[in-house]
Chain A
Amino acid sequence: DTAVSQTPKYLVTQMGNDKSIKCEQNLGHDTMYWYKQDSKKFLKIMFSYNNKELIINETVPNRFSPKSPDKAHLNLHINSLELGDSAVYFCASSRQERNTIYFGEGSWLTVV
């Protein structure tokens, strides 16, 4: 009965590689997000999609490309990974008319 699920949970990869993190929510929410939590535990929004349309893009390098095939999925693809991309990436979702945001368990990305 997982509400927001993301895979993989852990990912170790080399610099320069391309990787994807998948996210799915079964809450029937209209809006999905990607947040990044850095090594200092700062949490910052990266993207937000509403009904498959991009509505927030917070000055994220264009190596990061979100893709929303339907409103229950929001995947994050990262090209040419850099050391600074190492972080925990959280997917989240919310219902449009209500503001409570539900988070996935996070994906720990380590770039070596």
Chain B
Amino acid sequence: AQRVTQPEKLLSVFKGAPVELKCNYSYSGSPELFWYVQYSRQRLQLLLRHISRESIKGFTADLNKGETSFHLKKPFAQEEDSAMYYCALIAQGAQKLVFGQGTRLTINP
């Protein structure tokens, strides 16, 4: 069974500081990994997916198969980045998105 672990339930950093939200997964095949963001009382939105290798809103994430990680990073946090962040995985051939527990990121002014 696939599992996604986000070890930090809460993360608080100051504006302008670097941010790293951790995500580890367990899956024996080749997963497809995503980061979703949920701003206060809004829908979940796709932030980025590993196959596109793009940077969205200054965030990047690199899939590290050796460490089975897909950490989300941003060099300089902004107040508008405060939100709930979910790491998610889809197994090969599957259509079920498995979510981590989520990390609530708070950017302090």
Q: Which residues of A contact B (CB under 8 A)?
A: 4, 31, 33, 40-45, 48, 50, 55-56, 90, 94, 96, 99-106
B97 at the interface (CB under 8 A from A): yes
Is B46 a contact of A56 with CB atoms below 8 Å?
Answer: no
- List A contacts of B84 (CB < 8 A): 41
Which 8 residue pairs of A and B lie closest in terms of their CB atoms, listed nearest first? A43-B99, A103-B44, A105-B43, A103-B43, A99-B90, A41-B102, A101-B97, A99-B32
- List A contacts of B74 (CB < 8 A): none
Is A106 a contact of B43 with CB atoms below 8 Å?
Answer: yes
- List A contacts of B64 (CB < 8 A): none
Cα(A94)–Cα(B86), bound, Å: 18
| 8 Å CB contact of B95 from A40, A50, A90, A106 | A50
| 8 Å CB contact of B97 from A42, A45, A50, A104 | A45
Size of chain B's interface in residues, with CB distance under 8 A? 20
Q: A102-B46, A103-B43, A103-B44 are in contact. Are A48 and B102 (CB under 8 A)?
A: no
B45 at the interface (CB under 8 A from A): yes
Is B96 a contact of A103 with CB atoms below 8 Å?
Answer: no
Is B102 a contact of A43 with CB atoms below 8 Å?
Answer: yes
Can you list 22 contacts pairing A with B, beta carbon distance less than 8 Å?
Answer: A40-B101, A41-B84, A41-B104, A42-B101, A43-B44, A43-B86, A43-B102, A44-B99, A45-B98, A48-B95, A48-B96, A56-B96, A94-B95, A99-B49, A99-B90, A100-B46, A100-B49, A102-B46, A103-B36, A103-B44, A104-B43, A106-B43
